[in-house]
Structure 1
Amino acid sequence: MSDPPSPTQRRLTQIRDFLTMQKTASTIPWDPDSTRFPTRQELPKIAGAPEEAAWVWGSDDYLGRINLLTPTRVAAAAKEIRTGEIIPVNLPLNVPEQPAFGRETFQHKIKVLREGAAYDDLYTMNTQSGTQWDGFRHFAHMPTQCFYNGTKGADITGPTANLKCSIHHWADHGIAGRGVLLDYRGYAHKKGIQYDPYDYYPISYTDLEACGKEQGIDIRPAAQGGDIKPGDMLFVRAGWTEQYHLKPSEERARLALREHKPGKESGQRYAGLAQEEKIKDWLHDCYFATVAGDAPTFEAWPTHEDYHLHEYILALWGMPLGEMLDLERLAQACRQKNRFFFFFSSTPANCPAGVSSHVNGQAIL
């Protein structure tokens, strides 16, 4: 349990909510329909949880920030549909041909039931080999080896394994709401900024702020006067998919098979969000329901800090994290229309005890 607010604090919150016509999340479990949520610096301390854990939706919660996708917010997000154009964001299941980090390649076999009349498919795949949601079982808070909401390794494998943080919880709820694209790769091309998405390149908060401004978006949280509302789903285009399709197959395989090891010298190197305090504050305080990018890692890889953003996003804050989404068509359409908000839906795999899932997602403009 967290330390309860003092009577004075409660009274001040009530007065502020009355004056601003808002509703502040102040009592755990938080009401997901609240209009104001604590900043990263205001997070309550939760007994038995790591520092900065936002395990605030209930002791048996395995949805995390998906809780913010309430009927009210989903209905409001539907108003972003203007033309009805559907843009899937899923790479083919066999892309990349050679996955990074030593993951297994996708295998597809057609099973003949009756020649010329009936067939089945047989898939063999690692759900982390292409367009994917990292589930809460995927990456722990390393110092404590805690997954989201106190889940441990013994809950995932072994004789005491159970369904804590299973991906099927997301499938039971569903994912749909308002998406926002920050097309950093497009911004970089326009401004003459050169970088290789297949190498370590940290995209800072200042970079994203400038990208948003160029797109006509104030990327600050609505509570701070910006355009990002609680429950929005973030998509950042860093350019990996663009480069993947420009490289010959042999070069793609060579880069995917670079040595993966701990530390700054890891051969696996990708552009992504900077691991900095401003990025952590922003990702937390915007109260995104989900975050996603187009590279094999969401953050710049390898980390140059003593932590990974994965630890904060997944284990501490309970925010679904998407990787290797195909944002090329979406970026092109958003730039043509000069509109970077849209309706987004995703159907994670209903796999009890599952760790992750392909996104199975689409934007509707």
Structure 2
Amino acid sequence: MADQKSTTNQRLTQIKDFLTMNKTATTIPWDPDCTKFPTRKELPQIPGAPAEAAWVWGDDDYIGRLNLLTPTRVAAAAKEIRTGEIIPLNLPLDVPNQPAFGRETFKHEIKTLHENIAYDDIYHMNTQSGTQWDGFRHFAHIPSGSFYNGTKGSDIVGPTANQKCSIHHWSTHGIAGRGLLLDYRAYAHTKGINYDPYDYYPISYEDLRQCGLHQGIDIRPIAQGGDIKPGDMLFIRSGWKEAYDSASVEARAKAALRHGSGKDGEDGQRYAGVSQEEKVLDWLHDCYFAAVAGDAPSFEAWPTHEEYHLHEYILALWGMPLGEMLDLERLGKRCRELGRWWFFFTSAPANCPSGVSSHVNGTAIL
């Protein structure tokens, strides 16, 4: 009976596709060139995977939503280049001077090969001490202990370690496509909304929707009548860099070294970011972003006040690259001046076999 119902549904989808000129993803592995994909509530249950896992691109897939960056979409995204202005989105490697979450500080050593003739550099760094991509090895779905596409901790470290979900897979595929900036910080300023980016402040779906409308953008997915297309990349400016630049060196270090849970009046790491709520989960999933990123040490409001983290969904369940601490100040200023919020974005993650994460090495081209 269930098989008959499934067959009937597939036939109805085929008819709808014929009438609408769509191509709906139904058979796993999905074809990334499809024009319509299941919503979060329509996701198929993957045998052996936790609920809501979108491990749909094949058993050996380790790039997740980057599959959506097809040649067709990248070529279309290139049409967003109007002025040709290049805006790097990377903080200097030594910013922040004191990284959050107990991460190591960046250290730079110049090695003399021959005095006055030749020199080398030696970098000592944690790839997530500054502008970073959280790779799929970074954060698991906590209840199941699974990283993206069934990768386990034993695949990452130990005698059976391998290259499942290694960051180098992103590098060999490449990241380029259409980017969208939601400048929530600027929107908040215009509306008299005051908050401290160094404190817990959840930016809700409704906040982002209103921000989008303020910028002339319908942030719903195109399948729901909005402006977001599959494969777009989302950037949210929450104002962390603005606050960092205005703080003293001592204040920055004190904030980065806070200890504790950050909840119920206890000291700890606290940052403004995207809210953990059902509407946000539906939106982030259903837009089929190829990647999402923000300007704070945590893309999501930190610490979470729910039983889950957005990181679990974005990285482990959906396979969506997650960027943090991108420098969106210059980009935000130029987008406001031009009244344009779309751009071409490219990133070159480190080609590091077995790597967990990478600096972004990202560029927006207007």
Question: Aligning the two structures, in what range does the TM-score lie when normalised by the shorter sequence?
Answer: over 0.9
Contact 1:258/1:267 (<8 A) preserved: yes
1:4 offset after TM fit, Å? 10
Measure, in 2, the Cα distance between the counterparts of 1:296 and 1:97. 13
5+ unaligned residues in a row in structure 1: which ranges?
A: none
AA of the residue aligned to 1:38? P
Contact 1:101/1:260 (<8 A) preserved: no
1:6 offset after TM fit, Å? 1.4
The alignment status of 1:301 with 2:302, answered yes or no, reads yes
Aligned to 1:28: 28
Contact 1:235/1:291 (<8 A) preserved: yes
What CA deviation, in whole Å up to 9, does each residue of 1:47-92 have, x standing for no partner? 1000000000000000000000000000000000000000000000
TM-score, normalising length: structure 2: 0.98
Aligned to 1:345: 346
Measure, in 1, the Cα distance between the counterparts of 2:113 and 2:255. 39
The alignment status of 1:219 with 2:219, answered yes or no, reads yes
Contact 2:40/2:286 (<8 A) preserved: yes
AA of the residue aligned to 1:220? R
Contact 2:262/2:268 (<8 A) preserved: no
TM-score, normalising length: structure 1: 0.98
Contact 1:68/1:230 (<8 A) preserved: yes
Aligned to 2:329: 328
AA of the residue aligned to 1:85? E
Aligned to 1:123: 123
What CA deviation, in whole Å up to 9, does each residue of 1:203-238 have, x standing for no partner? 000000000000000000000000000000000000
1:261 offset after TM fit, Å? 3.6
Measure, in 2, the Cα distance between the counterparts of 1:206 and 1:101. 29
Q: Where in structure 2 are the equivalents of 1:194-273 lying within 5 Å? A: 194-261=194-261, 265=266, 267-273=268-274
Q: Percent identity?
A: 77
Measure, in 1, the Cα distance between the counterparts of 2:26 and 2:249. 53
Measure, in 2, the Cα distance between the counterparts of 1:325 and 1:245. 14
Measure, in 2, the Cα distance between the counterparts of 1:255 and 1:58. 42
Q: Where in structure 2 are the equivalents of 1:133-212 lying within 5 Å? A: 133-212=133-212
AA of the residue aligned to 2:130? G
RMSD: 1.1
Partner-residue secondary structure (3-state), 2:171: helix
Aligned to 1:288: 289
Contact 1:292/1:322 (<8 A) preserved: yes
Aligned to 2:90: 90
Contact 1:132/1:357 (<8 A) preserved: yes
Q: 1:308 to 1:82 in 2, by over 3 A?
A: same
AA of the residue aligned to 2:118? A
What CA deviation, in whole Å up to 9, does each residue of 1:101-123 have, x standing for no partner? 00000000000001111100000
Contact 2:262/2:270 (<8 A) preserved: no
1:7 offset after TM fit, Å? 1.3
Q: Where in structure 2 are the equivalents of 1:97-112 lying within 5 Å? A: 97-112=97-112
Aligned to 1:79: 79
Measure, in 2, the Cα distance between the counterparts of 1:102 and 1:190. 35
The alignment status of 1:278 with 2:279, answered yes or no, reads yes
1:153 offset after TM fit, Å? 0.2
What CA deviation, in whole Å up to 9, does each residue of 1:116-147 have, x standing for no partner? 11100000000010000000000000001100
Partner-residue secondary structure (3-state), 2:109: strand
AA of the residue aligned to 1:300? A
Partner-residue secondary structure (3-state), 1:230: coil
Contact 1:221/1:286 (<8 A) preserved: yes
What CA deviation, in whole Å up to 9, does each residue of 1:18-44 have, x standing for no partner? 010000000000000000000000000
Q: Which piece of structure 1 moves more, 292-301 or 261-270?
A: 261-270
Partner-residue secondary structure (3-state), 1:6: helix
Measure, in 2, the Cα distance between the counterparts of 1:316 and 1:141. 7
AA of the residue aligned to 2:296? A
Aligned to 1:69: 69
Q: Which runs of 4+ in 1 moved over 6 A?
A: none
What CA deviation, in whole Å up to 9, does each residue of 1:309-328 have, x standing for no partner? 00000000000000000000
Measure, in 1, the Cα distance between the counterparts of 2:354 and 2:261. 28
Measure, in 1, the Cα distance between the counterparts of 2:300 and 2:251. 23
